Amino acid sequence: MIAIPPALARSVFDDAPDAMIIIDAFGTIWFANRQVCQLFGYSHEEIIGESIERLVPERFRARHVGHRGDFGSNVRVRPMGAGLDLNGRRRDGTEFPLEVSLSPIEDVGRTLIAAAIRDVTDRKRAEAELVVARDAIEAMRELADRANQGRKRLLEAAARELRQPLQTLELINETLRQHVSSPGAAEALSQQEQAIGAMSRLLNALFEIGKLESGAIHPKPTDFALAALFEELHAEFMNIAAGKGLQIEIEPCDARVHSDPKLVHKILRNLLSNAIHYTREGRVRVQCLREAARVRIEVLDTGVGISPDQVPYIFEEFHPVDVPAAGAQDGYGLGLNIVRRLANLLKLELHVRSEVGQGSAFSIILPAGSDRAIGL
């Protein structure tokens, strides 16, 4: 057997990254490396031959003696005080958190105990800061939840309280129109009707956003055919488009998709409304394209288009598309915001391509549904 020179052994222990102490069964310190002196503030001569309890805060010393006794009756390599917060006491009386790993050393019929000691002040501080940060995040989340719930209740109350007077205004406007013969008065009533319609659309959009933000809308995905949905959209928007002198084309589609049909209908309804709103002449077209296991639905128009620098922002709340002075000016930027929220809720891809003066194309990509077997 090769004998290790004592000087070399001492050098190895002194160069170890952790403080290391060797004590006997009575807790007397036989050896302490350089890190022990630096960590606790004692000189080597002051600590050798002293009781290990000298390095323990006074209020824990009696308990520490018991821990030593437990280790002596069950000698094995293990951490000391597992699950407990351990503290050391420096020469100047200050305390710090530490971790201790214990190992037995057999020496001529007696057992010595080697203890590796590590200062964990920085780690404890980081853990405490993490707890504070986590609590702050949780508090912010609770505040946000309460704010969302408050906003939802406000929007619900607004919907109840404002819809009734809006309906009353519509009835009054219709009644007045039957008794007015003056062209000037008729024009004023027409403008008033447009304002009432805009207010109603804004209220409905805000209410829809409130429900989406509060998590009140839960998708119910299923396989469904797009043909019936396209027919509903054509019936709904045919007269609206004709009223602006626009041609609306909704191409036949026999594809089946897997998603929530009501929410997909809302997406396409908003996209069609947006396309008609920003198109002064020409046409609006809806088409579906099969792409392997997916189906792309596109809403295309020959409208004013969107400049490249505006495209990243068009789905934000209250960010209407910039249009020429002669274009439509009563958009609130909420329809496309609802489209984005619904697409995110359904986990659908949403794309847009546009060119100023040439029109735009908005598309959503849905997973294909299963084809129903014929004749079964």
pLDDT digits (tens, 9 = 90+) for 97-152: 988 888 888 766 677 888 888 998 888 888 888 888 888 888 888 877 777 677 66
From the options 3.30.10.20, 1.10.10.10, 3.40.50.720, 3.30.450.20, give the CATH code of 6-119. Answer: 3.30.450.20
Residue 70 is predicted with a pLDDT of: 62
Asked whether residue 286 carries a pLDDT value surpassing 90, the answer given is yes
Q: Which fold has domain 220-376?
A: Heat Shock Protein 90 (3.30.565)
Range from 36-50, 71-85, 137-151, 185-199 that averages highest in pLDDT: 36-50
Asked whether residue 1 carries a pLDDT value surpassing 60, the answer given is no
Helices vs strands, H then E, count in the chain: 9, 13
Residue 326 is predicted with a pLDDT of: 40
- Name, in order, each residue with C-beta under 8 angstroms of 297's C-beta and a sequence gap of 6 or more: 226, 268, 286, 287, 288, 363, 364, 365, 366
Q: Does this model's pTM top 0.85?
A: no
Q: Taking the C-alpha atoms of 230, 277, 348 and 252 in order, what is their torsion angle to the nearest 10 degrees?
A: 20
Whether 358 and 282 have beta carbons less than 8 Å apart is answered as no
The pair of three-digit structure tokens given for residue 101, joined into one six-digit string: 């790993």
Please name which of 319, 331, 335 lies closest in space to residue 268, comparing C-alpha atoms.
335
Residues for the chain: how many in total? Answer: 376
Q: Which residues of the chain are in CATH 3.30.565.10 domains?
A: 220-376
Q: Which residues of the chain are in CATH 3.30.450.20 domains?
A: 6-119
Each residue's pLDDT tens digit, 340-371 = 999 999 999 999 999 998 999 999 999 998 86
CATH architecture of 120-216: Orthogonal Bundle (1.10)
Mapping DSSP to helix (H, G, I), strand (E, B) and coil, where does residue 230 land? helix
Q: How confident is the model at residue 329 (pLDDT cuts 50, 70, 90)?
A: very low
The pair of three-digit structure tokens given for residue 37, joined into one six-digit string: 């002196």
Whether 244 and 279 have beta carbons less than 8 Å apart is answered as yes
